[in-house]
Chains A and B, each alone.
Chain A
């Protein structure tokens, strides 16, 4: 299912002047959180059982919009991880690898249906634990989660067609480490292809947002998934390190920062463990003078402010052709003034809570750096923020130079860096002037130019005259230091299979 940020506020197509004079009030429309029950304490899910952590430690999972503790969550240490990996290996040897593709697919179809049936509950839980707006979890995250299981369910009995002429076998136990920005969606991206290909899984959710993945266990059990096929160990970096270091893990999939990705790559060097890394980005959004400017501005807003900017493929650099730069900037500022920041459970909210206090501090520090380095700062002064919780106004810096921190460092927040170009060659050179290469956006009404530019951008995903579209059939992943391997589509099968001679 293709999803993007829904249109918000005023319809696209209004010019900056028309927008500026208009004030629209919205009555709050709060989604009830009664639909979801959160246990006060979560254990580790190993071999089909809830087990207490060996060392008995628990950490808090916090609602970033209220700073209240939602639940205590077990911290897995090396012995817990070992038990989980052994459970996964047993399940692989005894049950999962013995099933036909059709049977595996049947389980995944059932999981997909159960997710659809419990979509509202999962959306509310995700919003509570993560801070992202209910509009996004309801319309984007959860539908995509179900779609992902549905898509890969159908591959399970068709792996012989994955690549013509090649024969494949599953790898065994996959260790999967996922981030906090799309907790359930990343769990789906990891689990669905792994199981479809016949592997078993030990998943480590992010310590900031473990609750939705733990809720998935109810769905796995309702679907009758054999015990040990999916195991969940919660914890922070040390838990992840124990998982990647485990000798029985044959495949590691990680989504997160480039720094941690490099640590993992170094730690598995020479081990022959198959590794996919989906890492950071500093993706460029190119607006040419012949673009449909109002649509482009909507795309830029979606590109950088979707999910509070906590998106690896966020369009965090905007490059505008000089002749239209002033107009684009005016339109963009007018549009930003219409964004609604606040209670993530309010269905009107565009921008929810920054995921954690640590993240909020980091983003604020980078904004200060941006101001110090001389970019022209803008934030919509009309936006009022809630008194409690981790909230931040969306902002942009214009006249930013290529060498400035904001053009080089991933902020992972609602901060846009704007600069200009004169020729397509300059735009491409600037867009590619980064060690990252995850995504890029192009806005132009000229088809030949779109294709020429798309071909030259060093990015794994190029959104032309659109941005932030996701679909389980569409491969996703980066060039260069944005990591390697693809998730989604036929290409997303390859990391979970071994070519047979």
Chain B
């Protein structure tokens, strides 16, 4: 048996994508380096997702959507809570990523992790509340039972900022899936470093495959593809890029995507309502 290698030669990690519950590399074979600000060596290699990876992610999200929306709101809430538990359980690994990979101080990393867990817990408790808050029984002036209920929009695309913000990302993802949507999220540039940790936690949280799909890559390359994809029903373009936002919202009009452009408060009912439809059902009352 040969002696162990010195610990100064760590195994360099390649972080993969999270699509349909699995961890594939980009079909394109492309990658980019995640390097902590000020560091000489890369912390990890990240997959540079391609248009084809996005298509695969949307297929997975599409396939998972009806089943996810059909689960009870209680069950979706349980799974969101489990996601919070799994992230908390991987605190050490998150600390390493946030500090060594993304340059957080120990205090910053602890705060970010706590806020991430908070976001998931907040929306774990929202799935079976928001329909009561925004739903209605409508007093129409005739012999009819008339009620309005919110329901999931379908597949939601989230295009995040390059700056890694685990709590904001978790909040957006959780808000969308709490309502029964499935998600394809692009965490571009350095934010792509979050894909692996989120993926590992979600994959072990009883979250059905395809409900959340995570891509690392380049927003300039993929944002237009999100905007024009006909199987995406809602899109949050969360980047401070006015020119690209115009381009994205123009292309999104082709299938009348519901578009959201600003973050707004992270923990709020409105984040769930960003991606719901309202259905009103009439039925006569009589004998």
- List A residues at the B interface (Cβ < 8 Å): 1-2, 147, 163-166, 258, 261-262, 265-266, 269-270, 272, 277, 279, 435, 450, 454-455, 459-466, 469, 471, 473-477, 479-484, 486, 489-491, 499, 501
B283 at the interface (CB under 8 A from A): yes
Q: A165-B269, A466-B284, A469-B144 are in contact. Are A270 and B242 (CB under 8 A)?
A: yes
Q: Which of B138, B139, B249 contacts A475 (CB 8 A)?
A: B138
A-B contact pairs, 26 of them (CB 8 A): A1-B142, A2-B144, A163-B133, A265-B253, A266-B253, A269-B253, A270-B243, A270-B248, A270-B250, A279-B256, A435-B255, A454-B279, A460-B279, A461-B279, A461-B282, A463-B282, A466-B144, A466-B283, A469-B140, A475-B138, A475-B280, A481-B256, A483-B256, A491-B148, A499-B270, A501-B264
Interface string of B136-155 (1 = CB under 8 A from A): 10111110101010010000
Q: Which of B247, B258, B265, B281 contacts A462 (CB 8 A)?
A: B281
CB-CB < 8 A to A270: which residues of B? 242-243, 245-250, 261
Docked Cα-Cα span, A336 to B162, in Å, equals 62
Q: A435-B255, A480-B233 are in contact. Are A486 and B278 (CB under 8 A)?
A: yes
CB-CB < 8 A to A269: which residues of B? 245-250, 252-253
Contact between B138 and A473, CB atoms less than 8 A apart:
yes
- Chain B, interface size category, equals 35 or more
Contact between A454 and B246, CB atoms less than 8 A apart:
no
Docked Cα-Cα span, A95 to B255, in Å, equals 40
CB-CB < 8 A to B282: which residues of A? 461-464, 466, 469, 474
CB-CB < 8 A to A486: which residues of B? 278
Docked Cα-Cα span, A420 to B252, in Å, equals 34
CB-CB < 8 A to B151: which residues of A? 455
Most buried by A among B248, B252, B282: B282
Contact between A471 and B269, CB atoms less than 8 A apart:
no
Q: Which residue on chain A has the smallest CB distance to residue B148?
A: A475
Q: Which residue on chain B has the smallest CB distance to residue A264?
A: B253
Docked Cα-Cα span, A461 to B269, in Å, equals 23
Contact between A489 and B283, CB atoms less than 8 A apart:
no
Contact between A474 and B138, CB atoms less than 8 A apart:
yes
Docked Cα-Cα span, A454 to B245, in Å, equals 36
Contact between B256 and A477, CB atoms less than 8 A apart:
no
Contact between A459 and B279, CB atoms less than 8 A apart:
yes
- List B residues at the A interface (Cβ < 8 Å): 133-134, 136, 138-142, 144, 146, 148, 151, 233, 242-243, 245-250, 252-256, 258, 261, 264-265, 269-270, 277-284
CB-CB < 8 A to A466: which residues of B? 144, 282-284
Q: Which residue on chain A has the smallest CB distance to residue B153?
A: A479
A450, chain B: closest CB distance, angstroms: 7
Most buried by A among B151, B242, B249, B265: B249
Contact between B256 and A272, CB atoms less than 8 A apart:
no
Contact between A489 and B133, CB atoms less than 8 A apart:
no
Q: Which residue on chain B has the smallest CB distance to residue A489?
A: B138
7 more contacts with CB within 8 A, not counting A460-B277, A469-B144, A489-B138, are A266-B253, A435-B255, A460-B279, A461-B280, A461-B282, A491-B148, A501-B265
A491, chain B: closest CB distance, angstroms: 6
Contact between B140 and A474, CB atoms less than 8 A apart:
yes
A150, chain B: closest CB distance, angstroms: 10
Contact between A147 and B141, CB atoms less than 8 A apart:
yes
Docked Cα-Cα span, A258 to B247, in Å, equals 20
Q: Which residue on chain A has the smallest CB distance to residue B143?
A: A2
Contact between A166 and B256, CB atoms less than 8 A apart:
no
CB-CB < 8 A to A490: which residues of B? 136
Q: Which residue on chain B has the smallest CB distance to residue A454?
A: B281
Docked Cα-Cα span, A495 to B285, in Å, equals 31
CB-CB < 8 A to A461: which residues of B? 279-282
**4 residue pairs, one from A and one from B, having the closest CB atoms:** A2-B142, A270-B246, A269-B249, A265-B253
A411, chain B: closest CB distance, angstroms: 20
Contact between B258 and A484, CB atoms less than 8 A apart:
yes
Q: Which of A266, A459, A463, A477 contacts B250 (CB 8 A)?
A: A266
Contact between A484 and B278, CB atoms less than 8 A apart:
no
Contact between A471 and B142, CB atoms less than 8 A apart:
yes
Contact between B269 and A2, CB atoms less than 8 A apart:
no
Q: Which residue on chain B has the smallest CB distance to residue A461?
A: B280
Q: Which residue on chain B has the smallest CB distance to residue A164?
A: B133
B169, chain A: closest CB distance, angstroms: 21
Contact between A462 and B279, CB atoms less than 8 A apart:
yes
A143, chain B: closest CB distance, angstroms: 10
Contact between A262 and B254, CB atoms less than 8 A apart:
yes
CB-CB < 8 A to A279: which residues of B? 256
Contact between B253 and A262, CB atoms less than 8 A apart:
yes
CB-CB < 8 A to A454: which residues of B? 279, 281
Docked Cα-Cα span, A489 to B134, in Å, equals 12
B199, chain A: closest CB distance, angstroms: 30
Q: Which residue on chain B has the smallest CB distance to residue A279?
A: B256
Contact between A465 and B284, CB atoms less than 8 A apart:
yes
A350, chain B: closest CB distance, angstroms: 21
Contact between A166 and B270, CB atoms less than 8 A apart:
yes
Docked Cα-Cα span, A454 to B283, in Å, equals 11
Docked Cα-Cα span, A455 to B279, in Å, equals 9
CB-CB < 8 A to A455: which residues of B? 151
